[in-house]
Amino acid sequence: MLTNEPISNLRTHLGYWLRVVSNAISQNFARKVSAEGVTVAEWVFLRMLFDAESIAPSQLAENMGMTRGAISKLSDRLFEKSLIEREENPDDKRAHTLALTNAGRALVPRLARLADENDAEFFDKLPHEERLRLERILKSIVSQRDLKNIPIG
């Protein structure tokens, strides 16, 4: 050996434990929303449209931390499921706007319940104080590293 430094174990990294928990939460949530016929990325997409009323695909790409190509394909799928509408902007024929259909708008509250349930399954058994600490620590990392988006994958 040219160095005395030990080869660190996977479990020595906080990032490892974060990934284990985060992926378990996401997979559990994916299972729940699949019962409503959507994916986690589709949930995020629909939830953002719910607030935005209408939004450009490129803006959504920015907000979701995904490429425009990915948003384009996500839109195709949600359109096929009749959950969103797409309109060409009359002032700028390059631009589109996306909006929820009535079906899409009706689905969001059900998905939001599933998200609440999912979070509760993982965190409700923590003492309230611990939940606050966890939230504070995570948000401090987000602001320290200036993390803006929701990278899905």
Partner DNA sequence: TCATTATAGTTTCCAAGTAAACTATAATGA
Partner DNA sequence: TCATTATAGTTTACTTGGAAACTATAATGA
Binding residues for DNA (CB under 7 A): 39, 41, 56-59, 65-77, 86, 91-97, 151-153
Read off the amino acid at residue 83: L
Segment contacting its own copies by CB under 8 A, of 13-21, 70-78, 82-90, 96-104: 13-21
Instruction: Give the separation between CA 78 and CA 22, rounded to whole angstroms.
Output: 25
Comparing CB distances to DNA, the nearer of 41 and 118 is 41
CA dihedral sign, ordered 128, 133, 136, 141 = negative
Comparing CB distances to its own copies, the nearer of 10 and 95 is 10
Comparing CB distances to DNA, the nearer of 49 and 66 is 66
Site string for its own copies, 93-132 (x = CB under 8 A): ---------------xx--xx-xx-xx--xx-xx---xx-
Q: Return the SS3 of 31.
A: helix
Q: What angle do the packed helices 40-52 and 68-80 form, to 10 degrees? A: 90
Contacts of 120 (CB under 8 A, 6+ apart): none
DSSP state for residue 83 in the 8-state scheme: S
What are 38's two structure tokens? 């959507």
- Interface residue list for its own copies (CB under 8 A): 3, 5, 7-10, 13-27, 29, 44, 47-48, 50-51, 108-109, 112-113, 115-116, 118-119, 122-123, 125-126, 130-131, 133-135, 137-142, 144-145, 147, 149-153
